[in-house]
Each structure stands twice: as C-alpha cells, then as structure tokens.
Amino acid sequence: MDFQLSEKMEAALGLIDEFVNAELVPMETAFLTKDFRTLLPAIEKKREMVKQMGLWAPGHPQELGGMGLDLVDLGLVSEALGRTPLGHFVFGCHAPDAGNVEILHLYGSPEQNERYLKQLVAGSIRSCFSMTEVEMPGSNPVMMETTAVKDGDDYVINGQKWYTTAADGATFAIVMAITDPEAPPHQRASMIIVPTDTPGFDLVRNINIMGHAGEDYFSHAEILYHSCRVPQSNLLGPEGQGFVIAQERLGPGRIHHCMRWIGVCNRAFDLMCAHAVSRPISPDETLADKDIVRAWIAECSAEIQAARLLTLHTAWKIEQLGWKEARQDISMIKFVVAGAMQKVVDRALQVHGGLGMTDDTILAFFYRHERAARIYDGPDEVQKLSLARRILSEYKAP
Ligand SMILES: Cc1cc2nc3c(=O)[nH]c(=O)nc-3n(C[C@H](O)[C@H](O)[C@H](O)COP(=O)(O)OP(=O)(O)OC[C@H]3O[C@@H](n4cnc5c(N)ncnc54)[C@H](O)[C@@H]3O)c2cc1C
C-alpha cells in the first residue's frame, strides 16, 4: 500500500481543511442551539461554494456529477469532513443519501434514475433508508414483519419502521419489505421506492435521541406504512434480493462512516490537547503537566492512528479485491473505530471538565450523537461474532 498522497488529493484535502475551518466550524454554535431547518439557507450557500470549488459529491461517479474518488481517497476526504457535523452534508456525501445513490446507480431502472438519481446527487432532494422495525431485532433483519403484497400493478405495504434517519423532509424512502414469505430467509425481502407523499406513508414522530429530537436531515423517524400503495415499477433491483443489495451498500458505507469517525477523533483530540495546555490547574501548572492527562494524550494518539490505518487498509483491500474478500476487515473496523471514537471523545470531554458537558464546544454533541456508532449498521457484538466465526472456520480441531 502506497502512503504517498497524489498531488491532486493533497491539494483537495488542503482546500477541504481550510473550508471546514473557515466556513463550517463557525456555524457550529448556531447548529447546536437552533432548529437545523433555520440553517438551511446558509448551508445552501456553502454547498454552492463547494460546487464552485469542484469538490461536490466526492464519492459519486463523475458521469453523475461527482468527483469519482476511489475508496481510499474518499476515506481521506471523509476524515477531513468528519471534524464537523456539517461536513458531509455540505459536501454532498452524507448518509443515507450516499448509500442510496450507490444502490440506484447499480440497480435503478432508467425511469427511477431519471426521477430520483440526478436530483439526489445534485443535493436538490433527500432520501432515507427504512429497514429497522420497532418490534423486530435490527441486528437480525431477516426477522422482518413489514410486507409488500402485490395487488394489480401495485405493491401494498404494511408495517412499522423506526430509526429511518433523515425521513423528515425526504422525497422518498427505500423500504425493505417481505415480498415472498415462503422463500429462503435471505430471499424474502425486496427494496421498494416509496415517495414520502404517498398516502399511507405516515411519519409518526421524530424520535427523541439522548434528549434531543433532531429535525430534517438530523432526524430519525418512526414511520407507519399503512396500506401504502406504490406501482410495482418502484421495485429497486430484483425481487427477493433486498438483503444482497443491502450488503453491497454496507461495505463501502463502513469506510465512509469509519473515516468520518476518525475525523471526529481528530477534532476531539485537538480540542483536548489545546485545552490541556491552556487550562491552569495550580498556580504554576496546566492540565498538560499532569501525567494522567499526558498518558491519555499518548494513548488517544496511538489509538486514533491504529484505527485510521486499519480503515485505510480495509478501503484499499476493497478496492483491490472487492468487498467480499474484505468482509473480516469490514467487521473489524466497525467495532474498533467506533470503540476508539467513544474513548477519545470521552477523554476529551473529561479533560474539559464542566465545559465539556455544555454546548459551548462540539464535544457534548459528539458524545451523545456518536454513541450510536456502536449500534447502527450492526452492533459491536454482531461484528465480533461474525469476525470470530470467519476466523474459527479456518481452524479444525486435531
Ligand atoms: C442513530 C441511529 C441511526 C439509525 N439509522 C437507521 C436508518 O437510517 N435506517 C434503518 O433501517 N435503521 C437505522 N438504525 C437502526 C439500527 O441499524 C439498529 O438499531 C441496529 O441494527 C440494531 O438493531 P436493534 O436496535 O433492533 O437492536 P437489537 O437487534 O434488538 O439488539 C439489541 C442489542 O443486543 C445485542 N445483540 C444483538 N444481536 C446479538 C447477538 N447475535 N449476540 C449478542 N448480542 C447481540 C447488541 O448489543 C445490540 O445492541 C439506526 C440506529 C441508530 C441508533
């Protein structure tokens, strides 16, 4: 693996760092204290600036209007943008739209792509991904109750989902629903596009998460699909292939997430070090003079670097060999990076004392928002079991 950045990437990352520091970090106070919707006009202006700079949609193919970066370079961009919660949204590479663009690009019909894909890449509409259910284990989504039953030329969808991120204000949802209950478990579900203005798509509430109900892009909705009728032409990809397609979406998605989390770590680490050297703790000492703080700084620095290299190596392996060959690595980075981020943010917050608990720094937001990293897209325990199963399958008792 070559660690040398191309000139193009070095220049792009330099521009992104400057933009994040000059244009986005100053918006964070408003982001932390106001309804996200009130910031949308200002965010739209920043998005226009990003487009003018040629840095829009870094991971999407060039023919769709993106930069067409490979996974390693996209990971580096994701790291740079992860320093602020606004980064990915302003650069047009935010979840869940980024994953939905990938699925549409691979499986969308010409009509679906004409109607949704171009606008999604351009950032003029948003989407969401609706799989997890209230009553069933998201860790084992083959246990799904939502059904899509054929009736004439339509599917009629019934079910209750929650944690549909960014549903508030989205134009359409990609819904996972059982289309053939008699098929083998992994072939029962399909992906179906449901415009959010379809009768029977009922957004019940934006769920309160750690004391905060986000709005718009920063929301997580509970949704009732109540005799929700869409044409069968809204099927995305082959019928019964929902889980296969979901797997394809997860591999590259993990790289985006994990490198974004490394960006969160870098920001928290910088804040921790800056605070440690400036906060007096006795008449002639700062926090940085204390051994325990020094040990945290050393440990965090090593843990971030280890997590970063593991993730970049996984991105490289996916590029070289495909995501199936990198399955163990993909499981590994999910829990290693999420765990490192939790530790780094926690220590940074601790070093800030009472200030760390306030919204006067970004740390409290990171602390509550990013805790979910150990749960979504497969909780730690599921990743560890899957990794151990693959490792042990290579051993036989003598
Ligand atoms: C912030 C956030 C955003 C999300 N966004 C989306 C989204 O956009 N779309 C969507 O469809 N879903 C989304 N989800 C849902 C997420 O994918 C699920 O929460 C996740 O898959 C876990 O499912 P569950 O909550 O039903 O937990 P369960 O499956 O009930 O598991 C509960 C806990 O049990 C443990 N566990 C599970 N399985 C095992 C096992 N085999 N062995 C040992 N322990 C186990 C784990 O600790 C797990 O945390 C989001 C979740 C969060 C928190």
- Best mutation site among 140, 146, 375 for ligand 1, i.e. most ligand atoms within 8 A of its Cβ? 375
The share of the chain scoring above pLDDT 70, in percent, equals 100
pLDDT, tens digit, 9 for 90 and up, residues 326-378: 999 999 999 999 999 999 999 999 999 999 999 999 999 999 999 999 999 99
Tell me which of 144 and 248 has the higher pLDDT.
144
* CB-ligand 1 contact for 382 (6 Å cutoff): yes
Task: In whole angstroms, give the CA distance from residue 151 to residue 257.
Answer: 39
Predicted confidence at residue 248, as pLDDT, reads 79
Residue 139 structure tokens: 């860790």
Q: Mean of the pLDDT values across residues 93-116? A: 96
Question: Among candidates 369, 360, 275, which has minimal Cα distance to 32?
Answer: 360
Rounded distance from Cα 295 to ligand 1 centre (Å) = 33
Whether 2 shows a pLDDT value over 90: the answer reads no
Helix (H, G, I), strand (E, B) or coil at 212: strand
Quote the strand ranges of the chain, DSSP E.
127-130, 147-151, 154-165, 172-178, 189-195, 201-206, 208-209, 212-213, 220-231, 235-236, 280-282, 285-286
pLDDT the model gives residue 247: 85
Maximal C-alpha separation, the chain: 80
Q: Are 82 and 91 in contact (CB under 8 A)?
A: no
Share of the chain above pLDDT 90, in %: 95
Domains contained in the chain, CATH given: 7-100 (1.10.540.10), 127-236 (2.40.110.10), 243-392 (1.20.140.10)
Q: Verify whether ligand 1 is closer than 6 Å to residue 165 (CB atom).
A: yes
The whole-number pLDDT of residue 129 equals 97
Beta strands 154-165; 235-236: pairing state: unpaired
- Confidence (pLDDT) at 310: 98
Pocket mutation for ligand 1, best pick of 139, 203, 380 (most atoms within 8 Å of C-beta): 139
Residue 263's pLDDT band, with cuts at 50, 70 and 90, is: very high
Q: What residues contact 158, with CB distance under 8 A and at least 6 apart?
A: 146, 147, 149, 225, 226, 227, 228
Residue count (the chain) = 398
Q: pLDDT tens digit string along 40-92? A: 999 999 999 999 999 999 999 999 999 999 999 999 999 999 999 999 999 99
CA of 133 to the centre of ligand 1 (A): 10
Q: What is the pLDDT of residue 374?
A: 98
Which residues 6+ apart lie within 8 Å of 142 measured at CB? 185, 186, 188, 189, 243
Atom of ligand 1 nearest to the CA of 96: 8
- Residue 113: CB partners within 8 Å, gap ≥ 6? 104, 105
Average pLDDT over residues 196-202: 98
Answer whether 214 contacts ligand 1 (Cβ < 6 A). Answer: no
The pLDDT of residue 213 is 86
Measured CA to CA in angstroms, residue 168 lies from 3, 43, 126, 213, 221 at distances of 41, 17, 9, 11, 7
Average pLDDT score over residue span 151-175:
98
CA dist., res. 222 & res. 237, Å (int): 25
Q: Point out the ligand 1 atom lying closest to the alpha carbon of residue 130.
A: 11
> What average pLDDT does this structure show over 309-332?
94
| Segment 105-110 mean pLDDT | 96
- Report whether residue 96 contacts ligand 1, using a CB cutoff of 6 Å: yes
Q: Could you read off the pLDDT of 108-140 as tens digits, one per residue? A: 999 999 999 999 999 999 999 999 999 999 999
pLDDT above 80 for 250: no
Quick one: pLDDT at residue 253? 87
pLDDT (0 to 100) of residue 3:
85
- The mean pLDDT value of the chain amounts to 96
Q: Is the pLDDT of residue 255 over 90?
A: yes
pLDDT band at 15 (very low <50, low <70, confident <90, very high): very high
131 pocket-lining for ligand 1 (C-beta < 6 Å):
yes
- 377-396, pLDDT tens digit by residue? 999 999 999 999 999 999 98
Q: Which atom of ligand 1 is nearest to the CA of 137?
A: 29
pLDDT bin (cut points 50, 70, 90) of residue 146 is very high
- Per-residue pLDDT reduced to its tens digit, 203-241: 999 999 999 889 999 999 999 999 999 999 999 999 999
Q: Which pLDDT score is estimated for 196?
A: 98
d(CA 231, CA 150) in angstroms, rounded, equals 9
Q: Is 137 in the pocket of ligand 1 (CB under 6 A)?
A: yes
